Amino acid sequence: MLRTTRAGLASAFKDLTGAFVPVALRELDRELRERLAKVPTPLNEYGYDRFGFSPEAARKAFLPAALFYRHYFRVETYGIEKIPSGRALLVGNHAGQLPFDAVMLGTACLLGAEPPRVLRSVAEFWIPRIPWFGVLVSRGGGLVGTPENCAAMLEAGECVLMFPEGARGMNKPYSERYKLQRFGPGFMRLALATHTPVVPVALIGSEEQQPGFTNLHKLGKLFGFSSLPVTLGFPWLGPLGILPLPVKYRFYFGDPLQFEGDAHDEDAAIEARVDTVKAKIVELLEHGRRARRGVFF
């Protein structure tokens, strides 16, 4: 009897809140549901793929992301159709102190690409140690960026996102904005080993979302953080300082680059290919910055 009462209360609660949820949100939820249903990823009978992705769970996380996508960052994409079907490695510039750029790119691939793709964002190895957040990343399609995992994803025909600058790019000071930091060559060896086309993407806007002045590495280490940036909003505004400025995001996708060669080639040969990708991203960044009229609009 208790169980039926609980079920009854739950459905009544749902009806009641449903009446207050704005129509726009329900529309967005429906759009996300439709887009997720079209994603070409095989799911088992319980609605999970073998990597832990679940459209049901992901949809709940994508709702706030989609709100940010449409109304906060007002993302515009140029050339998203260049992402090939099947395996692809998206490589872009990383910035913004927190990975909002990755979340927005993922939302772009879901809402803007045809067919919709679930972008597989590569996460740091310590992400799965964090309760709840680790599961969220996995259900949303993310993965720990080990070479084996990335190769497994690509071989399954997924689109993987990597930021070769890593934290170097994400936590750099405002004075270094739009200047590409050192690229880790791992992504190129991965692309060669799995014959995956590399799609360069320039992200405009994330570089200015959270201007950083300095980074208190040593202090951060005391608390177990790899970095502790001092930005326009943090730590003065406390948790509110984590919210970035409402910059306008623009994503410029370049043509896919197919590289051939030995994945175990010497560093110099790999670096030469990495430089090709870097140059392309720089070209797209310059084009994007010239085309825009302002940071926020």
Partner 1 sequence: MEKVLITGISGGQGRLLTRRLLESYEVCGVDRVAWEGAPPEVRVHQVDLRKKKFEDVVRTEAPTAVVHMGFIRHFRADQRTRHDVNVRGTKYLLDHCQSYGVQKLVILSSGYVYGAFPENPFSMDEDQPLSASRSYPEIRDLVEVDTVASAYIWKYPNIRTCVLRPVSVLGSFVHSMLAEYLRQKRVPTIMGFDPMMQFIHEEDLCEAIALALEQGLQGVFNVVGPGEVPLHVAIRECGGIPLPLPEILVRPLFARLFRYGLAPYPEGAIDYLKYPLTLSGKRFADAAGFRPLFGLEEIFQSVRRRE
Smallest distance, Å, CB 57 to partner 1? 9
The Cα 173–Cα 60 span in angstroms is: 33
Of residues 20 and 132, the one with the C-beta less far from partner 1: 132
CB of 107 closer than 8 Å to CB of 249: no
Position among 15, 148, 260, 266 found at the interface with partner 1 (CB under 8 A): 148
Stretch that binds partner 1, among 93-101, 133-141, 209-217, 237-245 (CB under 8 A): 133-141
Position among 14, 26, 50, 182 found at the interface with partner 1 (CB under 8 A): 50
Position among 2, 15, 20, 129 found at the interface with partner 1 (CB under 8 A): 129
The Cα 105–Cα 80 span in angstroms is: 10
Question: How many CB atoms within 10 Å of residue 220?
Answer: 15
146 binds partner 1, rule: CB under 8 A: yes
Q: What is the largest CA-CA distance in the chain?
A: 72
Stretch that binds partner 1, among 87-95, 120-128, 177-185, 264-272 (CB under 8 A): 120-128
The Cα 70–Cα 13 span in angstroms is: 28
The Cα 251–Cα 92 span in angstroms is: 10
Position among 134, 241, 256, 261 found at the interface with partner 1 (CB under 8 A): 134
The Cα 241–Cα 236 span in angstroms is: 7
Residues that bind partner 1 in the complex, under the rule CB under 8 A? 44-46, 48, 50-52, 54, 125-132, 134-135, 138, 143-144, 146, 148-149, 152
